[in-house]
Structures are given as C-alpha cells and as structure tokens.
C-alpha cells in the first residue's frame, strides 16, 4: 500500500508550468511536492506519451487527435508556449522520459491511463510494461488509476503488485462493488461532487479516498480532517 502525501501535483504542477511536461515535473519538485499525477495515452505508433486531452489543440500548437500522430511527429510540437512564453518549445514527453525524471527528482508517481476508445487494454498493456521495466523494485511502485474498467483490468494482469485506483466523478452508489471487482484499494473522486456521508462510508470501509482537483487551501484542510488521504492540486507544496 502506498503511503500518500497530503498533496499530489496535478499533471505535474499544472498551475506552475505547462501540464504533463518535464517542466511541470521539475516545478512540482521545486515546490516541495512528494508525488505527481501524470496522464498517459498512446501515439499512432503505440508509444506512451504524456497528454491529457484526446486532441492536441488546447495544450500544444498541434491540431487533431493525439492518436493520429506518431511519437516522432508529436516530439516536434510545442507544448509550452500556450502556457507562457518562457516555456516555448517545451516538448510532449514520453512516459520513459517522465518516469526517469521522477526517479531523478525523487517523486512518487500516479500514472493515470487515458486510453482512446478501443485502445483501453492496449494503452494499459503498453504503458505499464514500459513503466515496469523502468521502475526500480527498490522504489515504491506507482499508483495506476483510470476511469476505464478495461484498462484497470489489464493493469491488474500486467503489474499485479501495483496499487490501482478507480477514477469517478461523483461517487456512484455501487462504488464498493466496482472497486472490489477490480481489486482497487483506492477510489479517486471529484472533490466538487463529494458528500460528507459518502466520505464517511468510504473511509469507514477502509478504502483510501483521493480527490481531484483542488487549489483552495481552506477546503483542503477541511477534507483532510474528514479523512481524505490525498488531494490532487495544480499548486502542490510541502505544507
């Protein structure tokens, strides 16, 4: 079981640097984060890369689906200028590059699998095979999370010893059955949709509850008091 820090850097540190880039991982480490969350999907040629959206438009100078371009084509795009001129030329990193940097920086990792439709099992198989080959056995393994049941089922087969977390928006009424079916020890929910009674039921059942994405420090303190294990934030810190 992972010992979670109170804060997890969302997409690295999405409020401090362009999300899901090496710059965001470095920014998280400088801010004092102990753990970061990264989004992983596949390129056209089946390489795991860090990118949140299905399409390139919002956070790069590319257009169209990420899955339509090869890794080589993706590497030519600028994933930093949209955030600030200082990050011009920041590339879209591979999962290998991101995990290597996290190891160098001493950051624990939450790998969120974000498969395109029809590539759920493939995304988990490829990404986690890469991650398992790179991640040292002497370090606590990454947490693997996804909204996709199929991706989590594949994760259980590929890295059975790694903790898994089911991602949801509002906590569904059948959360316990769904997490038990997938052997998930973690539930990750939208903090804006939380109900205090539901939080109490989840924590009373012994399930680890993480939430996303929160930047208000007062609400963070309230949720920690209620038993939330960790909070994904765009502005991670050590306090």
Annotated catalytic residue, options 7, 9, 10, 77: 10
The answer to whether the CB of 141 falls within 8 A of the CB of 159 is: yes
Helices and strands in the chain: count of H runs, count of E runs: 8, 9
Separation of alpha carbons 51 and 94, rounded Å: 9
Task: Indicate if 10 belongs to the active site.
Answer: yes
Tens digits of pLDDT across the chain (239 residues): 678 999 999 999 999 999 999 999 999 999 999 999 999 999 999 999 999 999 999 999 999 999 999 999 999 999 999 999 999 999 999 999 999 999 999 999 999 999 999 999 999 999 999 999 999 999 999 999 999 999 999 999 999 999 999 999 999 999 999 999 999 999 999 999 998 899 999 999 999 999 999 999 999 999 999 999 999 999 999 87
25 noted as active-site residue: no
Distance CA 206, CA 161 (A): 19
The model carries a pTM of: 0.97
Helix H or strand E encompassing 143? strand 143-146
What SS3 state is found at 52? coil
Write down the catalytic residue from 52, 114, 119, 164.
52
The CATH code belonging to domain 7-233 is 3.20.20.190
């Amino acid at each position: 079981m992972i010992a979670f820090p109170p804060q997890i850097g969302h997409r690295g540190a999405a409020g401090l640097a362009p999300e899901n880039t090496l710059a965001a991982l470095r920014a998280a480490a400088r801010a004092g984060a102990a753990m970061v969350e990264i989004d992983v999907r596949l390129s056209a040629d089946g390489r795991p890369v860090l990118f949140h959206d299905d399409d390139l438009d919002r956070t790069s100078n590319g257009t169209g689906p990420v899955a339509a371009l090869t890794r080589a084509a993706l590497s030519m795009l600028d994933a930093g200028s949209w955030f600030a001129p200082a990050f011009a030329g920041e590339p879209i990193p591979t999962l290998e590059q991101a995990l290597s940097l996290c190891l160098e920086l001493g950051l624990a990792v939450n790998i969120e699998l974000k498969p395109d439709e029809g590539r759920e099992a493939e995304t988990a198989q490829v990404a986690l095979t890469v991650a398992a080959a790179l991640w040292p056995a002497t370090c606590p393994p990454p947490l693997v999370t996804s909204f996709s049941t199929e991706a989590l089922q594949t994760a259980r087969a590929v890295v059975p010893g790694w903790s898994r977390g089911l991602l949801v928006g509002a906590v569904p009424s059948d959360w316990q059955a769904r997490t038990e079916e997938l052997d998930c020890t973690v539930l990750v929910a939208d903090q804006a949709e939380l109900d205090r009674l539901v939080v109490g039921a989840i924590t009373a059942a012994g399930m680890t509850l993480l939430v996303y994405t929160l930047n208000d420090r007062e609400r963070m303190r309230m949720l920690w008091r209620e038993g939330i294990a960790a909070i994904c934030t765009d502005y991670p810190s050590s306090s």
